[in-house]
Amino acid sequence: MKKTIAIIGLGYVGLPLALAFAKKYQVIGFDINSDRIAELKAGIDTTRETTTESLQAAHNLELTSDTSELSKAQIYIITVPTPVDETNQPDMAPLLSASKLVGSVLGIGDIVVYESTVYPGATEEICVPELEAYSGLSFNEDFFCGYSPERINPGDKTHRLETIIKVTSGSTDAIADEIDALYSNVITAGTHKASSIAVAEAAKVIENTQRDINIALMNELSLIFNRMGLDTIEVLEAAGTKWNFLPFRPGLVGGHCIGVDPYYLTHKAQALGYHPEMILAGRSINDSMAVHVADETIKEMLRRDLPVKGGRVLVLGLTFKENCPDLRNSKVFDVVKTLQSYGAEIDLHDSEADLEEAEQKYGQPLLRNLGEDEQGLYDAVILAVPHKSYQDLSVEGVKSLGHRNAVIFDIKGCLGNIDDVLRL
């Protein structure tokens, strides 16, 4: 008899997972947000990770925010967010809350698998005690655990859950085999069974740490080349003609993964008495780039004798990455706040984000349509996030939003190498 699976958290990670398992298992999709459940039942996914057709076809998926329904399951997969707080320390509150929730319904022989990003050791040091406390059961005697790190890339229509190799692990050899077999049933790309939960946790946290450091190097190079009067992208394209040069590019580093996960590793390293200099240096560089973008915009406005206080700036794109509605930890927010600190008047537009959510985050209304502003053309236009809709405008379309002498800052250089257009 197949076991019933409960997915705890139906965001970018949990929903695709629930739909994949529902093709072969009975699945309970649980989220504490009742509005999210109502939307999904209506066939609406605001994350755009799935379609109405896929939701309607998932006959084995029960969507609920009722905790009592979870007791039907024998396998629990926890996919809640693991953010950092205002001091960049791991915020384990969502994970602890989910562990308490599952602990309250845990039964003999049940398995709890964590997919949320954590530091090595967190599952067994932090989560397991919560499961034991709220269930009254003993770990590795009455219930078991595993860790299988999520590898969802929001907005990516090529690399999907089923086509990305899945790392798996379990708290005993037998449970590791069972968890690996479970994921193998839905992951067509195959699985990689780690020797321990801690190895699987470490593998996840260094995936994004590696990317963060590489992007930080590109950002530092852009700061150096800017002082030399060299175009960074042009330099990187020249260097990229060598077969083993890695194709990283400078840019803002936000979101819920690359801009967050390294802090989980550094937190654990510091707890062990080691100061991780390279990782924290990379974080410092990447976190500083938003202010750099704003400062360079202001400097160029001054060079062109454009007003700064009261100057009108249009920011295109507010999400943390292109072609994705996710606003979490977007560094565009820091660009906007820095510009406002100079007294500039900022208009905002995003073709992908949920307008209500964006307006709440930024504290002002967003433009509904480009080119229809009654106050005239802008003194500066910052293409912060290269959504396809903005790239389709071409450089002429973006320039047309500002007046003849306006500053155009194409942060990621998606419009090409144009002499009078700034880019990192």
Q: What is the DSSP letter of 143?
A: B
Asked if residues 70 and 6 have their Cβ atoms less than 8 Å apart, the reply is yes
Q: E strands along 31-92, which residues?
A: 61-64, 75-78
Q: Which of 137, 32, 154 is nearest to 94 (CA)?
A: 32
Asked whether 119 and 265 are in contact (CB, 8 A), the reply is: yes
| Burial class (CB within 10 angstroms; exposed 0-12, middle 13-18, buried 19+) of 27 | buried
Active-site residue flag, 257: yes
Residue 177, Cβ neighbours under 10 Å: how many? 13
The active-site residue out of 127, 257, 324, 414 is 257
| Alpha carbons 382 and 370: distance in angstroms, whole number | 13
Which tokens hold the place of 201?
């946790």
Dist CA 370 CA 127 (whole Å): 48
DSSP state for residue 144 in the 8-state scheme? E
DSSP code of residue 107:
-
DSSP string, 389-420: HHHTTHHHHHHTTEEEEEEEEETT-TT---TT
**Active site amino acids:** 257
